[in-house]
Every structure is written in structure tokens, then in C-alpha cells.
Amino acid sequence: MIIAVEQAIQQKPLSFDEFLARHGSDNRYELIDGEVFDLEPTGLHEEVVAFISAKICVQIDAIGLPWFVFQRGLLRPSNVGMTAFRPDVAVVDRDELV
């Protein structure tokens, strides 16, 4: 669940490297087609994210898979040059990390 943002916070499109230099360590921002968006989750939003993460972790442990829950980390699709998402919850297979 992501709160929709109405407009980008800068005028000039940024490359992925420029985004990392400016906002890479701040998990409030994500890059979509060269535009930086400020993410502002609400308290209820964060509560739902925590609930979903906990339930997924229990299932991963029960099944014994080499997966982990990645929260608000920066994920960059390999086929998109100027986009980097910060999903609220992502399940990542440790064996598939590059």
C-alpha cells in the first residue's frame, strides 16, 4: 500500500545515479521515470505494513524458505533506467540477489 503523491518534487528529470547521490539514503523518496516523489505514509498505513510483514515472516519461517521481507528498501527494475521504487513490503529470495 502506497500513498499516492500528486506531483514530483523537482523539475529536471534525474538519472538513477543522481537520485542515489541526492536521496539514496533517505527512504522517503522514490524515483519514477526520472521524477522524484516524496512518500508520506500515515500511522494507519505503517500499522498495516507491520501487520503484513509479520504475517509473511511467520510463513517464511514455517516453510523454511531462503526469503526475507525487505521494507522500504530501494528496488530498481533491471529493464527501467530512471526508476527506483521503495515498496512498503517486498519478499526477496536470498538465492536470487545479484
6 in a structural domain: no
Question: Would you say residue 10 lies in a domain?
Answer: no
User: Does residue 35 fall inside a structural domain?
Assistant: yes
Query: Residue 79 in contact with residue 70, Cβ under 8 Å?
Result: no
Q: What is the H or E stretch that residue 48 is in?
A: helix 43-63
Whether residue 72 lies inside any domain: the answer is yes
Q: What is the pLDDT of residue 6?
A: 47
In a domain, 81, yes or no: yes
Q: Angle 74-97-57 (CA atoms, 0-180°, nearest 5)?
A: 75
Q: Which residues of the chain have pLDDT under 50?
A: 1-2, 4-6
| Structural domain contains residue 5 | no
Q: Report helix, strand and coil shares of the chain as percent, to nearest 5.
A: 35, 20, 50
At 90 the three-state DSSP class reads strand
- The model carries a pTM of 0.67
In a domain, 4, yes or no: no
State which residues form the domain around 59.
Answer: 16-96
Total domains in the fold of the chain:
1
